Structure formats: structure tokens, C-alpha cells
Structure 1
Amino acid sequence: MQVEPQDRLVKADAFSSDERAAVYRAIETRRDVRDQFLPQPLPDDVIARLLAAAHSAPSVGFMQPWNFIVVRDEDRRARVFDAFQRANEEAALMFEGAAQDKYRSLKLEGIRKAPVSICVTCDPTRAGKVVLGRTHNPRMDAFSTVCAVQNLWLAARAEGVGVGWVSIFHEQDIKTVLGIPDHIEIIAWLCLGYVDRLYAEPELAVNGWRQRLPLEDLVFSDAWGVRPAG
């Protein structure tokens, strides 16, 4: 007997006030952790739940282009840290004066301090050459993978696990360390570990790098540059 799509629908009721508050709390208190990781290992069941949350993300054409490489090996993480260090020095030289000094003062030790890392990748060939929803925007597979990263991040916040997103590296260096095929794109290197405290505001805001922009300055009504009435 064939099950019709409408027979798989579930009720779309709103969450209770407590459930809603928990979701918004995870969103509002999620932080990019760079240095505050505790040394205790993450249990396998926690990692499994985080990966399941990531795998529950939406994806264009339901292509699910992601893979997750869980990296515990200290030698591989050390090699990735070396690649990061080289790229980080290049990045520092792109800033001038006080900005360069401020950049160098930031503590970016997640790769070495976090007990586990997850390399999140995107396979653009996962669903074939023509993908529903990607026909006119070839980057939709990468955007979908970012949704998986955000799912993992919010689930980690609920678990009391800190996450740091490392993006300062030459992609080929990481591919070499992990044996990633040429056609696969690296979307994120995530450092994960327990933390006992999180900054009340984003760390870069606390350290004076940038401040959060007012939401009202970023919202337009019906067309670019048109402010909402009232």
C-alpha cells in the first residue's frame, strides 16, 4: 500500500512558551569559542547527537551535500594548526597599525585546545549535475551545508558544548592533511569542547574589534533602502 505525502503530515503547532524560550536562548547565547575550551573529552553520544542535528538541516533539492570528518588524532590536528598559523600570519599582515596589533592580540587556540574537531565539507556532485533548486544558483549546495553547521552549533549550545569556526587556512593544506578529494569543498573546520563560561556578548565585540549593528539599520520594506514606516 502506497503512503501518500499528505498522510505523512504532522501538526505544525507552536512550541510552548518554555520550549520557545529555550530555542531563542540557544540562538541568542551561541558564541564562537576561540580559547576557553576545557580539556575533558566529548562523549561519543554527545558527538552523535550533534551530528544528527547537523544532518537534520534543510538542503536544496534534498541533496544533503555534507560530510563530517571527526578529527581526534593529535598529529593531524597539530598539522592543521601549523597550516592555520601560516595563514594567520598572512592575515595579520593584511591589517595595518592598531588593527594589526589588535588582530595579533586575539587568542585563536581552538585547534590545539579543543579535544575534538569536525571538518564539514560539501560535495557538489552528491545529487548529480542538475539539482532541483540549484539550477540558477550553483552555490546553493554550500549554503545548505552552512545550515548544517548552524544546526550543529545550536545543538552544541543546548548541550553545553562550545564551538569555534576556523576559516583562516589554505584549503589545499587541510585537504592534504585529511585526504579530501579535489572536488570536495571545505566549508568549516569546527573546534568542539566543553566550556564552563561564555562571553555575554560575541568575543570580538568584547575585545573591541566590531560591535553588533542595530537591526533597524538593516531592515528595508519592499525595496532596497526603503525604511519601514513608523
Structure 2
Amino acid sequence: MPPVFDSPFQDKLGELLSWRRDVRRFRTDALPEPLLAKLISLMELSPSVGHSQPWRWLRIDGAAQRAAVQASFSRCNAEALSDYEGERAALYARLKLEGLREAPVQFAVFCDHGTLQGHGLGRRTMPEMLDYSVVAAITQFWLAARAHGVGVGWVSILDPEEVRHIAGAPPGWKLVAYLCVGFPVEEHDVPELVQAGWEKGRS
């Protein structure tokens, strides 16, 4: 018999969704490896087109690798700042948009566009379903992490090709996300960008 998800569980699920945040401020203490392995195993339960499971998680641990990722972020972030002017530029410059120096665990997550698993089922007319399958897996990992008190931050201000080379990924793999993972310094149910007032004064 399938499980019955009662009202208390449904309420807790709502709380989980409400408290899922993009974390940029991490404690530097290590994440227990058994816990990380559990989160990865829960991620692997995610749906994928044609059961292709195209996600490829490469852990970035080396000091040289991490320094190269930080350099890519710094350059891309400076370029992004130049797109803004006045008060918006000043606010952007104050935002903390990554946890690359603090997060104890970091992953470059790729989509393997050359995967043979699934035999192409479901993606002839929508090949982008491979990428969407990886996004779904990341979301599942994120929610599982939050349920275990672990924070996740998705860093997108990076050059994808630079990160692919840094991670040593094959040419057929497309970068979908760079994730920082660890215990958060603090937790909020309001997104940090909302707290910072980023959406105020939009035209």
C-alpha cells in the first residue's frame, strides 16, 4: 500500500517550501559525509525524461579549483555590476551573492547531453528536457538538504565554459548549476534579496 500523507505532513511540507532559501552565508564546519551521501541518494530519486538521469555532480574540493571558480565569479560579477547605474549599482555592490569562500562542500552540476540512458525517449521534440531533468534533481536535493538543516546556494554569476574546464568535465556536458552546500549561519523565511530591497523601485 502507498503511504498516506496526512494533514500534519502536508503542513510541514508547506513549511519546508516556505523556509527553502538560497543560502550565501555558511558556517565553515564540515558537513558529515554520511549526511551528504544521503542527500545525494534522495536527489537520485528525482524524475527525469525517459529515466535518462542526465545529472552529473562533480565535487570541487581542491584549493586551486576553488580559487579559479572564485576568480571567475569576481570577473563575471564586476561585469554584471557595470550593467547597473546609480543607486541600483550601489545596492548591487553591497549584495552578497555567493558563499564560495565559506561553503565546505561545492558541486558543479552538469547535464550530460550525450547520455545513452533512456534511449532518447521523450526528448526528440524537446531535447531541453534533459536540462529540465537536472534542474528537477537540483530542486529535490535542495529541499532534502533544507529538511536536514543544510543550506544550499546556487551561484550563477560564473562563466560556464571556465567552470567546465576547472571541473575537468567533458565537452558534451553543459553546466546547469554551481552549488555551495553547508550549514547556514542564519535562517530566514524571507529571501535575502527581498530583505535587501532589490525589488523596490522597479519601473
User: In which range does the TM-score fall when normalised by the shorter chain?
Assistant: over 0.9
Question: Match for residue 30 of structure 1?
Answer: 20
Residue 41 of structure 1 and its aligned partner are, at CA, apart by 0.4
Cα distance in 1 between the residues matched to 2:194 and 2:95: 12
Among 55, 75, 84, which residue is 2:44 paired with? 55
Question: Match for residue 215 of structure 1?
Answer: none
Number of aligned residues: 200
Residue 97 of structure 1 and its aligned partner are, at CA, apart by 1.8
Question: Does the alignment pair 1:21 with 2:15?
Answer: no
Among 175, 191, 202, which residue is 2:164 paired with? 175
Question: Match for residue 227 of structure 1?
Answer: none
Aligned residues of 2:49 and 2:122 also touching (Cα < 8 A) = yes
Cα distance in 2 between the residues matched to 1:136 and 1:23: 34
Residue 55 of structure 1 and its aligned partner are, at CA, apart by 1.1
Among 182, 189, 193, which residue is 1:193 paired with? 182
1:157-180 CA distance string (max 9 Å, x none): 011111100011111111111111
SS of 1:141's partner is helix
SS of 2:125's partner is coil
Question: Match for residue 62 of structure 2?
Answer: 73
Cα distance in 2 between the residues matched to 1:41 and 1:129: 36
Unaligned runs of 5+ in 2: none
Q: How does 1:47-196 map to 2 (within 5 A)?
A: 47-127=36-116, 131-196=120-185
Question: Match for residue 43 of structure 1?
Answer: 32
Cα distance in 2 between the residues matched to 1:179 and 1:149: 20
SS of 2:101's partner is helix
Q: Residues 161, 129 of structure 1: CA spacing in aligned structure 2 closer, same or farther, 3 A cutoff?
A: closer
Cα distance in 2 between the residues matched to 1:47 and 1:70: 11
1:124-167 CA distance string (max 9 Å, x none): 12136962211111110000100000000001101111110001
Give the TM-score of the pair, scaled to structure 2: 0.92
Q: Residues 134, 26 of structure 1: CA spacing in aligned structure 2 closer, same or farther, 3 A cutoff?
A: same
User: What is the root-mean-square deviation in Å for CA atoms of aligned residues?
Assistant: 1.7
Aligned residue type for 2:105: V
Cα distance in 1 between the residues matched to 2:118 and 2:9: 40
- Bigger CA drift: 63-72 or 142-151? 63-72
Q: Percent identity?
A: 38
Aligned residue type for 1:33: V
Residue 65 of structure 1 and its aligned partner are, at CA, apart by 0.3
Cα distance in 1 between the residues matched to 2:160 and 2:181: 20
Give the TM-score of the pair, scaled to structure 1: 0.82
Cα distance in 1 between the residues matched to 2:184 and 2:132: 28
Greater RCO (Cα-Cα under 8 Å, separation 6 or more): 2
Aligned residue type for 1:67: R
Aligned residues of 2:151 and 2:183 also touching (Cα < 8 A) = yes
Question: Match for residue 221 of structure 1?
Answer: none
Unaligned runs of 5+ in 1: 1-9, 212-230
Cα distance in 1 between the residues matched to 2:186 and 2:158: 27
